[in-house]
Structure 1
Amino acid sequence: NTSSDQNPVEVFDSVSVVNVNLTVKTEIGCTDSTSLSIETFGLPEAEIVGETNVCVGEVALLEGTLLSGEPGGSVSWTGGPVDCTDCLITNASPTVTTTYMLSVIDGNGCETVEEYEVYVRNAVAAVIDLGQDTFACVNEGVQLNLEIDQSLVSIAWSTDEDGLSCYQNCPNPLASPEGLTTYQVEVTNVDGCKSIDSVTVDIIDDSREFVTDDPVICKGDSVSLNVDYGTSPQWTSEEFLACDDCPEIQVSPDTNALYFVQVLSENGCTIHDSVEVVVQEPMPVEAGGDEVACINEGTELIGTGTGQASWSPADLASQPNDFQTQVNPTETTMFFLTVDDGVCQNRDSLLVEVLTSAEVFAEGGLVCLGDTIELTGEGLAEDLLWYDNDENIIGTGTALPLVPRESEEITLVGVLNGCDSDTAYVSVEVIHSPVFGYPESITLVPEVSFQILPSVDSTQGYTFEWSPADGLSCADCPDPYVSLTDEKTFSVEIFDPLTGCSTTEDIEFKVRTRCNGDLFTVPNAFSPNQDGRNDEIFVYSAFIGNFTSWRVFDRWGAEVFNTTDMGQGWNGSYGGKSLPPGVYAYIIESICPIDGTTFYKAGDITLIR
């Protein structure tokens, strides 16, 4: 194509590159030429999809799509009211049937315009209102309130956002978002008209510390817990609370305890806090054991504990704020040691007894002859000294073991430095054990029964225990019968229940097949002093039926006793008069039960007064 116009206009109907030549000729015939390369671009392509039929007041969603064109351009909606004029996707709110136009200019500056008609029918959409944007407290929810002016067919909340308690047909769901969230609702009325609204819910975190720092208290003490922020406090705990809705509470737990409290913040949010009361046991305190001090001497007190010490009465202590101090009371005084470890105070006490002299007590008692008795002494003394009747020291300390041979009185002296000594007296009564005077040895012939007779007739309530029991007619009587074929030794324990004393005697039995003096046994001494023990002397033998006589002579050969009854004893007298102490001779005559011959036994007896 050619043109003689200075500024020609050319419409290109295809995408191409065209070279244009320009030739200029002057009036005098001079010419000049130049050329220009023109590149043509295709128009951008776009389309619109969306609602074509809406109600009055209903929102129509218009979605523009760029099908082709150079990137970097712009879009623009015209023709009617829209939410966003330079967005590809927008909401239109026509009140009458309206044709909307979408102008698309691409990066090459090429423009295309697409039209889209939205028909508005004769029905009115519901007017809805979700109100102003709101907030929810952290870990709490907020109720959304949808206000509507007419009857509805359905309510649908967008499921693109989590956190609603209900999404279908609920006008007032509870919203519990995790962060800033916009919730949209679509309402459809009986005419099929839809209305859309949205509300943004933000999250407010009013969490903070608002109660007392964790306190440490001593067991048995109380502490105040205070709320310094918020309103409407509500306390909870496993411990008993005198007031659970007070801003300040007084507690006194026995062990570590947690207390929980909630308040309303300035924004109306419920916020929580807690406090732990740590209960500390008082540290052990020992003031020491009770002390004894002589007047004007004083004594040293040594206490133990952890913390600051304090003695009272302080005016009687040389160093009242030290664990170790010297005190010098003039009378018996109770001293208290208080130790403060910064949390707890604990106290212990001791008694300082002030004396003018030592004080001792002793205890004696009864003891069987030959047994050991332990004398005990105690009291306020540093040293205990035991003395006998001759004022000899026989022991020291709180116990004195003693084997007395006769009743006596023992003296205990208590010595306390700085004080006068004290004396206590104890009596030790020696009780003689029961004595029955059984013979030490008895000779028998085989299989001849013999009754063991004691030299004392009265048993005085004594008990007897023989061992071994084999060969005896009884094991718990004073005079059992014995029959043996072999030699054997028996023991008898004699117990006096009135005194608790006992004695044991052994009797050896010998067995002979011929007769001699060994078949008779006579004790070598006796004491006829009318004390109930060994007052008479007897002859013992298994041959009572073969006994002929027993005669006793003084040192000059005069007969002082004669009997043919072996069961009759001599009481140490002659003619009704007691004979003097001394040695007396005797002769026993008997017939041998084995061969019928006569045999004798001679010996001597010591009479003791």
Structure 2
Amino acid sequence: MPKIYSLSLALLLSQLQLKAQYADTGTGSLKEHIYWCNWAGFTITEGATKTFITSDSLTVTATFSDVTGTTPVPNYMSYAGYDFNNPAIKGSLNTNSSAHFKVAFTATRNNTPSPVTMVAISTGSTTYTGACSTSMALSTDTTEVTMGNASTVIFGILAAFDRGDLPASYGYAAHELTYTPCTLTQQSNFYLGAIAPDADTLKATDDGADEDAITTFPPYTGGGEYEITIPVYATTTAYVSAWFDFNRNGIFDANEIAIDTITANTAILKWSDIPARLPAGKVSPSAFRFRISDTLIINPTGYAPNGEVEDYFIALTAPCDVKVTTLPDVILCAGKSTQLSATGATTYQWTPATYLNADTIAQPVASPTTTTKYTVAGTDAYGCTGEASLTINVNPSPVITTSKDTSMCTGTTIQLSGVSDIPASYTWSPAKGLSNTTITNPTASPDTTTNYIITASTIYGCRTSKNIYINVTPTPVLKVTPDSPVVCIGQSVIMTAAGGDEYAWFTSNDSLLTTGTALNISPLHDTTFKVYIKDYACKLADTLVVPVIVYDTPTTTIAKSGDIDCANASISLKATGGIYYTWETAPGITNTHTASPAVSPLETTTYEVTIMDGHGCTNVESITVNVDVALEFTRYPIPSAFTPNGDGKNDCFGLKRWGETSWFEFNIFNRAGRIVYLSDSPDACWDGTSKGEPLPMGTYIYMIRARTVCGDVVRKGTILLIR
């Protein structure tokens, strides 16, 4: 039978993730005891139902009947001590005038009917039937509620639990707290220790002050059994069930339970068949769970109708079984490093710390200069320790003294040197260019820059390498460009020397001209020059003789075929006297590397050409092409008659020369005005026929139209056809 109790509490409601939930902020004394109903979106009508689900799988259904008067409106709660984060949640039912209804609450847990305790708070003139007192709520299945003006009623589900607080892998245990009717005094008939259980939120990580049954856990001696005696409180016969995760696998196994039936004020829990050495397992502390109730509990998780649960997660003192291991002894060459390694523990400490990159890790790097014994002490998660050691025997490494880095020229030889301070064998690399790769002082003749490496090895296998860098400079080529220059009279040439650091130019009779790299000459006859070149790096020097040949300037001419007029849109130029011709770019010329280019300027233009003979000597000629478009269209007269008799003389009628045209029309008319011949070709010539048939002798009319460089031209007149 559900019971409803009235509380004189101040409440503030905020965000609820479920349909009913604990207040998530505030300091009310029953903050973790009551789920508050959320009426958002609900309207009280005859026969209406509203279901609330708690996080403990408790389903509570409210059913309304005898609804009269004003319908109470869901509204947000605002009462000190019980707060939520979302004011949109409607936790109260409000009315501004009289209202009446009956409400019955039923509850199930996992589809099984379950007892439920309901509480109510109200403001204004609200009364209940069956109330414990004037200010308390009702204790019948169906409660009749009468609300006056400006009244509020708030319903809650009293669902307080004492909970375990071990990590999630162990599961969760919950013991429901019970209360006396009307006064809501907590009933504590069964609990562990001296403090009664208190209410906890779901999956609490800290179970609070009521975790007092055990202050000190006795050490495990390794004998296979473990026993704990704890104080309890029980008004009648009760049962204490306890679990000890001695294999540390993160769960409570079936063989890890101990049970005692309580008839006095202490419980004795005993486990057997425990390993002599507790394994490391998945978790390092030891997990314990203790549950008391008037009903025997055989599962470490789940719901209990009364009593208390206490969880402990402690570092239990137990026999140590830490075996720290490390590498065998090591032989090391001075100046080298090796990585050490230890296993079997959680934390490590190496001694001595000298020449270690770190002394508190499992795998430090050691670089000792002398033979050293290292010891590592390891500690596991339970405080057990062990140690191991190894010795690093250090053998001396050779120290090599070598010749210095240097430079050389290709084609030369240099001697290298490398000597160890202790007996050793030698190897040089690369072998290319070396006279011997296993002696201390080979000669080197590399053809490119090379980094030679000498490695000295002792009988202990200790090695040291050192580099000698040989910068190879290509042997310079002493030369003059051009080495046999050809000069034309009136022209000059620059001779340039290269390949050295020092230069001196002389005449053929050894007169010094300049000490620069270049010499500009303009001789009038064949002659000879000398240049002295010296290279400092490769210690080279030579005097080069440079013969110079002098040629005469070529004899050249330039001519034109005419000038530009209406009948001559293009003319040709002609240059002579050479074998290579280069015309300066100018309007109207398209081919600039021929002796006779065609030109078609639009205005009077001067053309210039450079003429070169077979010796490379040049001369420049120029000519001006005049442009006059004011001349008449053609200088050739049109005949007045023709005789198409096949004698090869005056057999057709046409204009002999037109020049360039972009459009042309040639028409012949008879005296009646009918066209008897037409053509669009400037080369057309009428043979006195029409459509292949000879026309009769007589006078005919011609009209010629053309578009030329001088513009549009029209010629017309008569022509006499004679047969």
TM-score normalized by the length of structure 1: 0.31
**Structure with the higher fraction of residues in strand conformation:** 1
Structure showing greater Rg: 1
